Structure 1
Amino acid sequence: MDRRVYGAEPSERDPGPKPGRAYVELVGGPLDGMLLDVTGWPPQEVVDGAVLMSEHGAFGPGGRSGYEPAEAVAGAGGVGRFVWRGDVP
């Protein structure tokens, strides 16, 4: 199965990762298995994690899912993991 990047349109011919980009893997929750493009993110934003729109979370369309780093993500250059911490409205 090809990996899908969060935010890619379902109609995109190739919604997978692109060369030269930095990604973290989303683990758990409604976005489990997707990749999040963190290319160009300042290091502090990577450490802070992300709250992402998710139609399949506990709050349905318009809800968000919170993800935090599971491990050090070396300056966002290496592939790390963001672990699901819960959904918010």
Structure 2
Amino acid sequence: MVTKKVVITNPTGLHLRPAGNLCKVAMNYKSHITFNYGDNTANAKSVLSVLGACIKCGDELEFKCDGPDEEEALTAIVSAIESGLGE
């Protein structure tokens, strides 16, 4: 299992479009991908789970990837977030 903390920089947070883009990236990998925010955990492959987290600009998320392609999955997720998730 690999983990990394990332700060959301999108001005409007993770609303539908960036949440969908995050899920698209996550679904390209076989690994189980989740993120922690506060005391809660969300599935990065579920749009409803990501939207339900109500992530705002400046929030810090800790992503956890566990599986056969965990390193590549984590790198892709972090890269997508740092590039703004299509915003």
- With the length of structure 2 as denominator, give the TM-score of the two structures: 0.27
Which one has the largest radius of gyration?
1
Larger relative helix fraction = 2
Higher relative contact order (CA 8 A, sep 6+): 2
- With the length of structure 1 as denominator, give the TM-score of the two structures: 0.27
